Amino acid sequence: MKIISSIEELRDHLRGQLRTAFVATMGNLHEGHLSLMRLARTHGDPVVASIFVNRLQFGPNEDFDKYPRTFQADVEKLEKEGVYVLFAPTEKDMYPEPQEYRVQPPNDLGNILEGEFRPGFFTGVSTVVMKLFSCVQPRVAVFGKKDYQQLMIVRNMARQFALPTEIIGAETYRAEDGLALSSRNGYLSAEERAEAPLLYKVLNDVANEVRGGQLNTSEVEKKAMSVLAERGWNPDYVAVRKRIDLQPPSAGDMAQGAPLVVLAAAKLGSTRLIDNLEI
């Protein structure tokens, strides 16, 4: 596996490759990331991964400086997966001058749910993904469904800008107890780790109520938030939304069986976890 930090060297190395499959990461890789690499291989060749902790998507009170960086261990994992190139730019490589041009998602998608609680987050994500796509020029790119709203925003961005990159959504990779794998799980204490699967259980309970004919989604959401709060969590949201646009479903949508997804974000101790489940 070749490790490249320069955009120019990356472009030279990939010149002429027409079937590149790309997976963008912030490092601290776990089995969920590696499953994305394997899925990428089924859609293209060669597989290119990136590791870049993107300052633009961190808010002023978020964990940019303490975000776990495990570069050498990440390299070993990617080599075992047969990744062709690891693009690992420094901040100076990616942002040699202040990134004043930004990609702004529409408010009705970018400023709800995660966007409401992390202002500017999706502008930072969209901007760096657009720039990474410009550097790698992949035919396909794989993103995990755990970050459901992010996947939708990237997919819509690629479509509206007519980017020559197909966006593939990968199913969420879970531990045996149901917890969605995340780099931030490493922040959990042993007691918190034992409690963390409750988030997925709550999502399943919400999904089961909706499947069972409960049309009052706001009531189901409040109940789910209460369950988390009673167990010492600090929930930001539990929300039943339409898959097509992440807007709340109307009574008509519910009656017609519109495809739905339930999304949740909650703090357990000092660690913020997110998850979702399609209904």
Pairing of the two strands 47-51 and 140-144: unpaired
Catalytic residues, by residue number, are: 33
